[in-house]
Amino acid sequence: MEAVDLTVVADVSGNRFRPWNVHTDLPAAAASVESDLQQIASLLRPTDRVRVLGVDTYTHQIVPLQPRDELPSIRTLTAGGMASLHDTLIAALVQPVEPGRRHIVIAQTKGTDTISAVDAAAVRDVAARSDALLHLVAMSTEFVTESRLRGFQCREMGFCQPMGRFWQPFARTSLQPDGLTLTPAGQLLADAARLTGGAFHVTQLINEPTLAGTFRRAFDDFRNSYVLQYTPRGVRRPGWHEIAVTVPGLPASDIRARRGYAVEAPASEANRERASPDSRRLESLITAYEKRDFAAVGTGLAATTDAAGLIHDFREAGNPWPAHPRREAVFVLELAEAALFSRRQNDRDAAAELLARFHPLIRHPLEPDAFERYWLWAEVAIAQGLIRSAFAEPLVAHALSRFPDEPRFVLAHAIVADQAWAIGRVAGDSRLSTSRRPPDDHIKRVIQRYSAAMAFSETAAEARVRLAWFLHRLGNHTSARSHLDAIPDETGLDATMRYVHRLVRGHVLAAAGRTDAALEAHRQALALAPHAQSARAAVMNGLLRAGDRRGAEQMAELIQTDREGVDPWWSYIQGDFRLYPAALSRLREMAK
């Protein structure tokens, strides 16, 4: 029997008719959810996993997906009082399902939705194409009690207007006033459950359904169910396919089964004919990616002469890994990187559009997660590597809107501003260069952004090194040195930035006339990267200032004859792009 991922949807919304001074008892609500969860967990196996979502003003995740044996205690909840039932059901139904696992959703409802962005019909449409098995459990007694409260308040207390807020939310109820029969909206939700093979459970006589009891029955049914496999013949593959399951020997049987499945259409033959010959590399790239032959993928992308055509074909064909949407998202980054460094504007435009299209697609349905964080970091790293501030600024702003306290994004915000006044001319952008001083507002912006990055221990040292170099270029050598002196050690710097730290320190000391100290700092940089031209040139100049002409000549000879190694300084202006391979490698592992 396949392992199960169970999503429990608990209705923790308040009574919309409550008096202003009667609030939701959050500890009691937490205790109720905790009790239900423990009962349900006792029915699961060690390989099964559970998550808990809350129906409230906002859909929120109370417990993230995790193994049964690692469930935390639910001590308290947050509640705004209204009910986003439909939104929460859709968030549960669209959760990705890993191969070899089944997804069951057991959802509790007080029978009312007051603030969702979608209606019950949308829930039904999503359910029809969901991989989940949905069971809805009506809290009939609580629905009737809350409904009667309004009449009592109005009749006996004169509170006929909403007491908890200044406006009355529009209510879409699933139950009739008796709490036993369904409204039209409730019928749509019941259809949604049936389309997945589940059901809507309401009170029968005096027996009110519970989360644990409903799950016990659903789990028993699931364990006794069958997986039918077949190969369709004589039908068009793309589109929606209805399925009817019957048992000829038992025509009166009550059968619960999925009603169909959908297959996305591939690119049309006409589009394939229009595709450029070079973009037909797509199939071989996808095959190499499936085999995790990333070297072959890199070689293929580097040899592409029509990146825009390749991206066009990729978009037309759809996700080549429907069961692995994260793999598609990572592949998109690699496609976009190759196109963004192209000299052709249409390649770069196609890549920018592709990345923007995936911003909403990589989002977790509930809240920002680790995959989105790494994906955006990789995207921002690529943008820094281009040294085009106008392109990078909105990408960094988007990343910060999703993760405002991510240190690398805060630092990237400073770097892309700093890049606008880069060393020399910037890849076709002549707005700012070292030939003139940048505007005062630009200087202030760069300093403020680097200062913000200093507030995080992860980026404080690098932010100080970069700000020191910026100030040094402005001629403010004293302030530059104070930032370098404020770095206690180099533990917060990677190999590249340790080299840059020593190199920049040497330049700042040289500007202050401290020749010997500057030469020592530059020699330390050269020891970290023995073939680096920037350190050799700095040492050569230091030797010449110190009067060691012969030593300077020997270093000059090395500069002209030794072409080995890579100079870390070359990657400095590209910010986090030096870390892009590490981010990409992590994403590939997360997308397996």
Higher-confidence position of 246 and 485: 485
What is the pLDDT, as a whole number, of residue 520?
95
Which parts of 237-360 fold into alpha helices (H)?
Answer: 269-274, 282-290, 294-302, 307-317, 325-340, 345-358
* One-letter amino acid for residue 35 of the chain: S
- Kindly write down the DSSP assignment for every residue of 48-117, as one continuous string: -EEEEEEESSS-EEEEEEEEGGGPPP-------S---HHHHHHHHHT----TTEEEEEEEEE-SEESS-S
pLDDT of residue 51: 93
Mean pLDDT, rounded, for 242-263: 71
Mean pLDDT, all residues of the chain = 83
Mean pLDDT of 54-64: 87
Sign of CA dihedral 345, 351, 357, 359: negative
Task: Check residue 21 and give its pLDDT.
Answer: 41
Question: Looking at residue 449, what is its pLDDT?
Answer: 97
pTM exceeding 0.75? no
Q: How many CA atoms lie within 13 A of 400 on its CB side?
A: 17
Count of C-beta atoms within a 10 Å radius of residue 13 = 26
The CATH number of domain 3-223 is 2.60.120.560: no
**Tens digits of residue pLDDT in 100-131:** 788 999 998 888 898 888 899 999 989 988 88
Question: What pLDDT, in 10s, does the model give residues 319-351?
Answer: 888 778 889 999 999 999 999 999 999 999 999
Q: Would you state the pLDDT for residue 209?
A: 79
pLDDT of residue 236: 64
Q: Supply the DSSP symbol for 308.
A: H
| pLDDT (average), residues 90-103 | 87
Which of 165-169, 289-293, 550-554 is predicted with the least confidence, judged by mean pLDDT?
A: 165-169
Single out the residue of 203, 146, 196 nearest to residue 173, CA to CA: 146
In tens, the pLDDT along 22-37 reads: 456 778 888 888 888 8
- In the block, tokens 């507030």 appear at 455
Q: Check residue 538 and give its pLDDT.
A: 93
Residue tagged 């589109």 (tokens):
239
Please say if the pLDDT value at position 138 is more than 80.
yes
- Confidence band for 434, pLDDT divided at 50, 70 and 90: very low
Burial class (CB within 10 angstroms; exposed 0-12, middle 13-18, buried 19+) of 369: middle
Residue 167 confidence class, pLDDT cut points 50, 70, 90: very low
pLDDT at 273: 44
Which residue in 88, 78, 94, 129 sits closest to 112, CA to CA? 88
Domain ranges of the chain: 3-223, 403-576
pLDDT for res 206: 57
Task: Provide CATH code, domain 403-576.
Answer: 1.25.40.10
Bridge partners (DSSP) of residue 172 are: 113
At 538-553, the pLDDT tens digits run 999 999 998 899 988 9
pLDDT, one tens digit per residue, over 182-238 is 999 999 999 999 988 888 988 765 567 787 888 888 777 666 666 666 666 666 666
pLDDT at position 15, please? 63
CA distances from 268 to 272, 273, 285, 360, 406 (A): 6, 9, 20, 26, 42
